[in-house]
């Protein structure tokens, strides 16, 4: 019986940081794609689609990271699940979609105007994405410090200090 690499505890511990980084990247991609999905749903609702139908209409153009959760909601009636129930399940699995799905369920249940709510949610999601991008941009100088010290500083010493020292030593 052969053991897979993930069955070995030491390798699981070694691979944990990479696995966590991949999960964080996937979650960040989902959060970054929410404003686009909000805009697509707003267009579909503005064109007269019901909240449940709007997700089905925008599914071909939905961002890749959000296709699977949206498809689970769209195909829920075929599995005997209601729209609100499917939205609740997906909201738990993908928390970034919770505001959108909550608005869709409320609008489908109460029949209220959905376009202003979607516009407000999209603006908030874009502001949040901008703030996250600014945080990532502020981290760039810190990340560049290590390569700078290891590459540029030695090159500076070799090109400026060493010739002066060699010239002084040769002039003796």
pLDDT at 10: 67
pLDDT per residue, tens digit, the chain (172 aa), is: 555 655 667 667 677 787 888 888 888 888 889 999 999 999 999 999 999 899 999 999 999 899 999 999 999 999 999 999 999 999 999 999 999 999 999 999 988 889 999 999 999 999 999 999 999 999 999 998 888 888 888 898 899 999 999 999 988 6
Domain span including residue 29: 5-138+146-170
Number of domains in the chain: 1
Measure the CA–CA gap between 67 and 77, rounded to whole angstroms.
17
CA dist., res. 126 & res. 53, Å (int)? 24
Q: What is the pLDDT of residue 4?
A: 61
């Amino acid at each position: 019986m052969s053991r897979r690499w993930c069955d070995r505890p030491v390798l699981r511990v070694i691979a944990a940081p990479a696995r966590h980084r991949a999960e964080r990247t996937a979650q960040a991609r989902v959060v970054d794609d929410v404003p686009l999905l909000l805009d697509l749903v707003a267009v579909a609702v503005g064109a007269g689609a019901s909240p449940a139908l709007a997700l089905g209409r925008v599914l071909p153009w939905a961002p890749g990271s959000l296709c699977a959760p949206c498809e689970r909601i769209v195909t829920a009636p075929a599995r005997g699940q209601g729209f609100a129930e499917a939205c609740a399940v997906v909201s738990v699995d993908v928390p970034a979609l919770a505001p959108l799905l909550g608005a869709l369920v409320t609008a489908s249940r109460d029949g209220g105007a959905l376009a202003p709510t979607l516009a407000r949610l999209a603006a908030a999601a874009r502001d949040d994405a901008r703030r996250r991008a600014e945080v990532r941009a502020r981290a760039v100088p810190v990340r560049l410090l290590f390569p700078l010290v290891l590459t540029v500083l030695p090159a500076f010493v070799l090109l400026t200090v060493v010739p002066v020292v060699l010239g002084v030593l040769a002039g003796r």
